Structure 1
Amino acid sequence: MTTDTAPYSRQFGADDARAIRDAVKKDLGTDAFKSRPLRALWFIPMTAIIVGSIASILAFDLPWWGNLLLSLLAGHTLACQALLAHEVLHGALGMSRRLQDALGWMGFGPAMVPPEFWRRWHNVAHHAHTNLGDKDPDSFGTMVRYEKYPKMANFTKPAPGSGTWYSFLFLFYSFMFHAQLVLWMQTRRREEFKGFNRTKAITQSMLCGAAWIALAIASGPLAVFTVLIPVMILNFIGQSYILTNHMLRPQMDNNHPVDNSMSVRAWRWIDPLHFHFSHHVEHHLFPKMGSDQAPKVRAWLQREMPDRYVCPSHVKAVAMLYQTPRVYKDAKTLIDPLNPERTVDVMELQGKLG
């Protein structure tokens, strides 16, 4: 399909998300959108790697560097499981809801995130309000919030872009920390959680936390390798994607994935291991598409709207995250609520991100 006759635009701001989706579906064909339940078999080797790594740390008197390598492997694989579970809970692999929940527990249980809570938080609240004002549960929000509650500005200090030394630790804990904030606070008041069994979800989350504590106690000093480092890596990998997906893009009233989100270019060898989670615009266009098909959507976007589709390298995106503030002054301007003179035009960032 050529852009000369296409019902979609190469220009930023066009309200043409439906037209883009229709065109991609037509060009890629129905096979690209079929569920592939056999991909769930990836949970078997990943679980074996996690259990085997932690068991080896405990069972063998390994040198510190051996324990470190195994802990990094376990943490990386925990993150991979969560990325695949994200796909499962969107329904991309098909299967019954009960089986989805079981795999969801395997992927998100280590992060203390019950599957049904994730569905409400991510699938419903985030996808419906992506980067939209103060409605997106995963956004630092707008100055309206901070003008109403000035003391909240202090919560931006740990975040990337604040300039504090401890902001460089943020990626290593913030997924699980933010999940608990949403679970304990936002589930009380958000419409998306109406009818949600909050008490059950909190209990489930605490039981997951208790499992980590039990492992730490059983591990003794080796808990650094069996618990601390794996959990830090799980958080780091997830947040290095999640925070760059939207926080460098403008806020859009029409929830247009091409304009309010961005993808990143991960290293070629690691992208399949992370189940193409780098393809985030693609995911927001087609949440139920298998991630193994996302590169086809990327190729389409790069061909049809190369100036509108933003996809920097993953490393550059994370670096830019640390060079910019996190709060929105307006739809296209980032601002530091603790230093209001510090602002960044996100549209100018697009050229730098490339």
Structure 2
Amino acid sequence: MHQEQHLREYTRTLKNHLPRHCFEPVPTRLAYLPALLALFGLCLWGILSTPLVALKILLSLGIGYAFVGMGFLAHEILHGAVTKNPWVRSITGTIAFLPLMVGARLWRRWHNVEHHGHTQHPEDDPDTMGALESIGQRPFMRWLFRQAPALRSFLLFLSFTFWFTLHAQMMLWRFLPGFKPSERPAVVFQALLPPLVWGGVLLWVGPLNFLFIYLVPWMLANATAMSFIATNHLLNPLTETNDPLLNSLTVRNPPFVEWLTLGFGYHTEHHIFPALSPKYAPQVGQKLKALWPERYNELPHWKALYYLWKTPRLYRDHRNLIEPTTGRVFGTLGFGLEEKLRQEK
């Protein structure tokens, strides 16, 4: 079994194997933002111009891609992988996160500091799933884990259509008291700005067009983002030490899809060097596989989603998941998960 290693053990070694330019921001990536905004504007104009519902739906899918692309870009910008200028980073990150309703300052606290600093820690990571003993403390969780596994998986995947935005609002209430009094007005403003913007769009275009211009694309963007986010860590073991090769998963897609999603699937690489541009993530991945082949976790995206469907989202202990309705135990990635699922086919 793998012993936990600290993040710094990987970064120290990898820095000797990667060229220095890999650690510089890539400002040209900012060109995605006007391109995605232009796609949104073009599809919006088309939806307002056509009476054909089928065409409105098609254009709505285009906006959905623009929204999720902006979300992936916001993540990149706010980590400093595009620019180190704090004003440019804050303004462009705020704009790019408008569709998913996330404030830039909240994201840096919740995601950059807390999630990256405590990845898959059972108590300190705000994004990790619960342990068996936590069920009794929450009535909804007790109800959920009394349901049949297939129904529970269906509900989990259905929740992808809204969960990213809902979780962001939960994180706002969790972390807002921890901001300095001087910072809170900006955090609150960034939280209020998206609903004000989209509320104004609703008044402008009317409910039917708003369905195609915002609601359907918002659900598509949430679902796409969550299909990556849920597979990034929820199949991995819990760790007391921040060990990205144990607690993170890289998911792979066809090259064209990886280009469309801005390389977001290279998540193990991202957790080792959060400020590194996804442009260089494949190089990092090659070095990780060469140096630590037995520790590196990588799956096709579709297979990771299949594993997510087939396993419960409840930890019996740091290395195992448990199905509470039957008591069946599933290992996590690197600790028998794939072998268990292969045996059950």
The reply to whether TM is greater than 0.5 is: yes
- Tell me if 1:97 matches 2:94: no
In the alignment, the residues of structure 1 paired with residue 304 and residue 262 of structure 2 have an alpha-carbon distance, to the nearest angstrom, of 19
Aligned residue in 2 for 1:187: 175
Question: Is the 1:128–1:255 Cα contact (8 Å) retained in structure 2?
Answer: yes
**Structure 2 unmatched ranges of 5 or more:** none
In the alignment, the residues of structure 1 paired with residue 198 and residue 233 of structure 2 have an alpha-carbon distance, to the nearest angstrom, of 31
Question: Is the 2:153–2:309 Cα contact (8 Å) retained in structure 1?
Answer: no
Q: How does 1:1-354 map to 2 (within 5 A)?
A: 12-15=2-5, 17-58=7-48, 60-149=49-138, 151-154=140-143, 163=152, 165-184=154-173, 186-187=174-175, 193-195=178-180, 197-198=183-184, 200-217=186-203, 218-336=205-323, 339=325, 341-346=327-332, 347-351=335-339
Q: Which amino acid in the other structure matches residue 180 of structure 2?
A: G
**Structure 1 unmatched ranges of 5 or more:** 1-10
Q: Given the superposition, is the C-alpha separation of residues 188 and 155 from structure 1 closer, same or farther in structure 2, using an over 3 Å criterion?
A: farther
SS for the counterpart of 2:82 is coil
Give CA deviations for 1:92-119 in whole Å, capped at 9, x if unaligned: 1223111101111121122111100100
Give CA deviations for 1:218-247 in whole Å, capped at 9, x if unaligned: 233122211111101110111111110000
Question: Is the 1:175–1:238 Cα contact (8 Å) retained in structure 2?
Answer: yes
Aligned residue in 2 for 1:7: none
Q: Given the superposition, is the C-alpha separation of residues 84 and 299 from structure 1 closer, same or farther in structure 2, using an over 3 Å criterion?
A: same
Report deviation, 1:278. Answer: 0.4
Report deviation, 1:47. Answer: 0.9
Report deviation, 1:36. Answer: 1.6
Question: Is the 1:176–1:235 Cα contact (8 Å) retained in structure 2?
Answer: yes
In the alignment, the residues of structure 2 paired with residue 166 and residue 35 of structure 1 have an alpha-carbon distance, to the nearest angstrom, of 39
SS for the counterpart of 1:38 is helix
Paired residues in the alignment total 338
Report deviation, 1:133. Answer: 0.4
Report deviation, 1:188. Answer: 5.5
SS for the counterpart of 1:141 is coil
Q: Given the superposition, is the C-alpha separation of residues 325 and 39 from structure 1 closer, same or farther in structure 2, using an over 3 Å criterion?
A: same
SS for the counterpart of 2:77 is helix
Structure 1 window deviating more from structure 2 (120-129 vs 198-207): it is 198-207
Report deviation, 1:147. Answer: 3.7
Alignment identity in percent? 31
In the alignment, the residues of structure 1 paired with residue 163 and residue 242 of structure 2 have an alpha-carbon distance, to the nearest angstrom, of 25
In the alignment, the residues of structure 1 paired with residue 100 and residue 20 of structure 2 have an alpha-carbon distance, to the nearest angstrom, of 34
SS for the counterpart of 1:329 is strand
Q: Given the superposition, is the C-alpha separation of residues 165 and 285 from structure 1 closer, same or farther in structure 2, using an over 3 Å criterion?
A: closer
In the alignment, the residues of structure 2 paired with residue 200 and residue 156 of structure 1 have an alpha-carbon distance, to the nearest angstrom, of 39
In the alignment, the residues of structure 1 paired with residue 93 and residue 341 of structure 2 have an alpha-carbon distance, to the nearest angstrom, of 33
Q: Given the superposition, is the C-alpha separation of residues 162 and 119 from structure 1 closer, same or farther in structure 2, using an over 3 Å criterion?
A: farther
Report deviation, 1:281. Answer: 0.3
Structure 1 length-normalised TM: 0.87
SS for the counterpart of 1:312 is strand
Report deviation, 1:330. Answer: 0.7
Q: Given the superposition, is the C-alpha separation of residues 326 and 272 from structure 1 closer, same or farther in structure 2, using an over 3 Å criterion?
A: same
SS for the counterpart of 1:307 is coil
Question: Is the 1:312–1:353 Cα contact (8 Å) retained in structure 2?
Answer: no
SS for the counterpart of 1:343 is strand
SS for the counterpart of 1:111 is coil
Report deviation, 1:150. Answer: 5.3
In the alignment, the residues of structure 2 paired with residue 93 and residue 142 of structure 1 have an alpha-carbon distance, to the nearest angstrom, of 37
Aligned residue in 2 for 1:5: none
Structure 1 window deviating more from structure 2 (92-101 vs 213-222): it is 213-222
Question: Is the 1:82–1:107 Cα contact (8 Å) retained in structure 2?
Answer: yes
Q: Given the superposition, is the C-alpha separation of residues 161 and 174 from structure 1 closer, same or farther in structure 2, using an over 3 Å criterion?
A: farther
Q: Given the superposition, is the C-alpha separation of residues 353 and 39 from structure 1 closer, same or farther in structure 2, using an over 3 Å criterion?
A: farther
Report deviation, 1:336. Answer: 4.1
In the alignment, the residues of structure 2 paired with residue 113 and residue 353 of structure 1 have an alpha-carbon distance, to the nearest angstrom, of 36
Structure 2 length-normalised TM: 0.89
